Structure 1
Amino acid sequence: MTSTPTTGPPVATPIDGPPGWLPLAAVATTLLLWASAFVAIRHLGEDFSAGPLSLGRLLVGAVALAAFALPRGLPRPSARQWRSIVLIGVLWYGVYMVALNEGEQRVDAGTAAMLIQVSPVLIAVLAAVFLSERFTLQLVVGLALAFSGVALIALSSSPDGDRDLLGVGLCVLAAAAYAVSLIVQKPLVATMSALHVTWLACTVGAVACLPFAGSLVSELRDAPASSAWWLVYLGIFPTAIAFTTYGYALQHMTASSLGVTTYLVPPITVVMSLVLLDEVPPALAYPGGVLALVGVWVARRTSRKSRRAELSLRSQPDLG
């Protein structure tokens, strides 16, 4: 007599994916390194002009990234992917860096970091339009709180109302270039590794900045050795490492929620500026920073609810 085998309850198949803390660690690494970049750019403003500083940083970054990317194989992007990579390289690694470097010749590091924070608002709107991400009430509230905190910091940083309009405009231009680039990169990193995308885009940005090569050589000759090492730091850490960790985080988070986390950069930049540049933040900067943190927390809560919707974005076509 044979017995009919019994079947137990179905066993859920585990979903392959990184541990939940890895994307958060990638974001934290990016934010710390990008905050340090604002301080380093401000510090190097006396030795390097905007274009040569951008080219030097990108050349170092491209070489550092190649050392890690090439052993993993040579990527073969499609024609559509190449268009996206070139657009990201020109906008994010070219226009963004030149505009930000020139802007920081006119405004301090903390103010520049605050002005860049208009980008999450642009990212959220663009993500809703092009990536089909939900523009939820919770995200709107988080954006409003965080933007209010950034605005409070910006107002407190200039009590006399003195502003260099060109410097402010250049920082806003950098924010717009960053926002568009992030939206273009979102579907790209769904089919390519973040490391390869970062390396190729950084290389494109370096090529776009080659007209500044002569000035870079001249300014390097006159700059002290410490400034040259700061330039190397910018290329390896805030560029090669931070852009790669940001691309990795972008693979596992919604573009709008990830963009909002950059509201943490201004408070970090203010602290670093105090320590390294002796720039003392005014009293109102502290409640502004707290308000920005609250906004980030509120907006980040939406990402857990968007995990399933995130999988559908893998099939979205590249923009451009």
Structure 2
Amino acid sequence: MKGKMKIIIAYALAVLLWASAFPGIRVGLEHYSPEHLSLVRLLIGSIGLLVFAFIAKIGLPRLKDVPVIFVLGFLGFSVYHTALSIGEQTVSAGAASLLVSTTPIFSAILATFFLKERMRGLSWIGSVIAFLGVFIIMIGTGDSFVLEMGVFIILIGALGESMYFVFQSHYLKQYGFLPFTVYTILAGTIFLLLFLPGLGSAIATAPAAINMTVVYLGLFPTLIPYFCIAYVTSKVGASEATSVLYLTPAFAILIAWLWLEEVPTIITIVGGILTLIGVGMTNKQTIHVNESLANHST
């Protein structure tokens, strides 16, 4: 019974912390630029990971794998976090979480073409339904029926994260889940140092409440869920461990409503339901690909 309770707690922490990141980003954007917000969040997370790596005595990666680690870190963290922050300037936290939930579909499609994995008929139907939901979200995120550019940018981030998930599998077997995550987050942070100019001034002039939110984003949603999902995966397997992550958008919408008073439109809710139904259908038929989502991040 104790073991079961630990799994439930780990699930709850992962979902709630990842869900809270979406409204947290909206708060951070009240003062920080999207680029600065992404950089400072990953800097804080990287410091935490370096401490963990030192305590856990995680060694250095092989020199021959360093270029791939940098490429995957760029796609999975630099591109994903920056695109999400840029997109959330105009897209609500709840809608952003629904758009990010398309990551498994991008992953499955990429694996079909690059890893020769098979998507069955139900998976393709699910993909069509999910992207219909995305289109509805796209035209219903604002006050009028217009195509929202922020949606496209968030989808670019989801695509980058999908590429990270698909092409990391070989290296996960070599290094293990947590060490490889440490390597790629640190690599992704290095790319974002391009945005370092002006960050000190932004931190110094930010209201204390916003800086506290940014510290929270860097330490909690960026780090703790990794350990939670790693623990659950070790107990129940990757497929079951990651299935619960589809609850994240529902909690993101709830937290955004309580924290930011963001009320989703009926159009967004309808689009979100279609998106999650489509993702669920695709996920059911592509378990092998979606096992990579044990590394899902926000």
Q: Do both share a fold (TM > 0.5)? A: yes
Q: In the alignment, is the contact (CA less than 8 A) between 1:142 and 1:296 conserved in 2?
A: yes
In the alignment, which residue of structure 1 is the partner of 2:186? 203
> Hey, what's the Cα distance between the residues in 1 that align with 2:160 and 2:286?
24
Q: 1:137 and 2:121 equivalent?
A: yes
Higher helix share: 2
Tell me, yes or no, if the aligned pair for 1:27 and 1:245 is still in contact at 8 Å.
Answer: yes
CA contact (8 A) 1:267 1:289 kept: no
The 1-side partners of 2:246 and 2:133 are apart by 9
How far off is 1:281 after superposition? 1.1
Q: 1:294 to 1:26 in 2, by over 3 A?
A: farther
Which residue of structure 2 aligns with residue 230 of structure 1? 213
Q: Is the aligned partner of 1:86 residue 2:70?
A: yes
Task: Give how far 1:81 is off.
Answer: 2.9
Equivalent-residue separation in structure 2 for 1:182 and 1:98 (angstroms): 17
Q: Matched residues in 2 for 1:148 and 1:22: separation? A: 38
C-alpha distance in 2 between matches for 1:135 and 1:268: 29
1:99 aligns with 2:83: yes
- Number of aligned pairs? 285
Distance in 2 between residues matched to 1:89 and 1:27, nearest whole Å: 25
Gaps of 5+ in 2: 292-298
Q: Show the counterpart of 2:46.
A: 62
Name the amino acid aligned to 2:108. A
- The answer on whether the counterparts of 1:127 and 1:183 sit within 8 Å (CA) in structure 2 is yes
Aligned partner letter, 1:175 = A
Provide the residue aligned with 1:71 in structure 2.
55
TM-score normalised by structure 2 residue count:
0.80
TM-score (norm 1): 0.75
CA distance in 1, matches of 2:284, 2:9: 17
Q: Cα RMSD over matched residues?
A: 3.4
Which amino acid in the other structure matches residue 38 of structure 1? F
Q: Does residue 212 of the first structure (1) align with residue 195 of the second (2)?
A: yes
1:266 aligns with 2:249: yes
Q: Distance in 2 between matches of 1:141 and 1:282?
A: 26
1:41, CA displacement in angstroms? 0.8
**What does 1:1-320 correspond to in 2, within 5 Å?**
29-158=13-142, 160-165=144-149, 167-245=150-228, 252-253=237-238, 264-302=247-285
Of 276-285 and 136-145, deviating more is 136-145
Larger radius of gyration: 1
For residue 225 of structure 1, report the CA deviation from its aligned partner: 1.3
SS at match of 2:222: helix
CA contact (8 A) 2:25 2:88 kept: yes
Give me the whole-angstrom Cα distance separating, in 1, the residues matched to 2:69 and 2:230. Answer: 13
Q: Percent identity?
A: 32
- Quick one: which amino acid aligns to residue 108 of structure 1? S
Query: Residue by residue, what CA displacement relative to the aligned partner does 1:256-290 show, whole Å, maximum 9, x if unpaired?
Result: x96x8765443332222211111111224444444
Runs (5+) with no aligned partner, structure 1: 1-18, 311-320
